[in-house]
Amino acid sequence: MDETRDQRAMRASDADREQVADVLRQAASDGRLSLTELEDRIEALYAAKTYADFEPVIRDLPGDLPLPPSAVIARRPAAAPMPAPSASSPARVGGVPTSRSAKVVFSGIQRRGDWVVPQHYRIKAVFGGADLDLRDASLEAAEVEIDIRAVFGGVNIVVPPDIRVSVDGDGIFGAFNDDASHRGQPGPDAPLVRITGKAVFGGVNVQRKAAGEK
């Protein structure tokens, strides 16, 4: 396998994340990023697992910034194109998300209709709620992760029949309810949504519904 591709797939360390965070802070100091953009990108950065995951948070920054080696690796093009989406769901995978995190405090959000689920999506609900409907959504990758932190809050997720789902969250005086798996899973070639995180005095409910189903 190509050396560059190997490097992009390598797991990033905390030191790597801090180096890239310094670049983002410098970009904000230079006026290239707003404070909101900086916060969103820092959250996405700390959720990154590999060097390739750094690319979305730095790709629109100029090349003259002092990028650390880890970020330089992330900017290199992949040695080969991503594999085509599974034939079982050709239109489900692809697209560019508009955000990679969401935070609700004493409020609520809804995502439904035509939207793109990021490969790593972070949700924080503190005394608030979030409703995510994936039935008309696209996935940035064939496998995505939705990481949830619900504190005195609730998150409801609806997945369609053609998406596999894996629910692996911890409840502390709260719960992750996986009703979706009880209705069966599609085949192994179908896209996968992993739902992880913690619910503290809160709850996460995952359901499977067909289009138009209430």
In a domain, residue 77? The reply is no
In a domain, residue 10? The reply is yes
* Structure token digits, residue 141: 């990758």
The pLDDT value given to residue 186: 87
Range of lowest pLDDT (83-87, 110-114, 192-196) = 83-87
Statement: residue 4 has pLDDT above 70: no
In a domain, residue 87? The reply is no
The pLDDT value given to residue 42: 86
In a domain, residue 111? The reply is yes
One domain, residues 121 and 196: yes
For 101, the enclosing helix (H) or strand (E) is strand 101-105
Statement: residue 47 has pLDDT above 80: yes
Range of lowest pLDDT (54-58, 99-103, 167-171) = 54-58
| 53 or 75: which leads in pLDDT | 53
Total tally of structural domains belonging to the chain: 2
How big is the CA angle at 21 (ends 20 and 23), to the nearest 5 degrees?
A: 65
The pLDDT value given to residue 84: 43
In a domain, residue 64? The reply is no
Determine the average pLDDT of the residues in 58-77. 60
One domain, residues 55 and 107: no
One domain, residues 118 and 204: yes
Q: CB-based contacts of 195: which residues, under 8 Å, 6+ apart?
A: 145, 146, 148, 157, 165, 166, 167, 168, 169, 176, 204, 206
The pLDDT value given to residue 155: 93
Q: Determine the structural domain holding residue 179 and report its residue range.
A: 101-208
Contact 117, 165 (CB under 8 A): no
pLDDT, the chain, mean: 81
Statement: residue 62 has pLDDT above 60: yes
One domain, residues 118 and 191: yes
Statement: residue 76 has pLDDT above 60: no
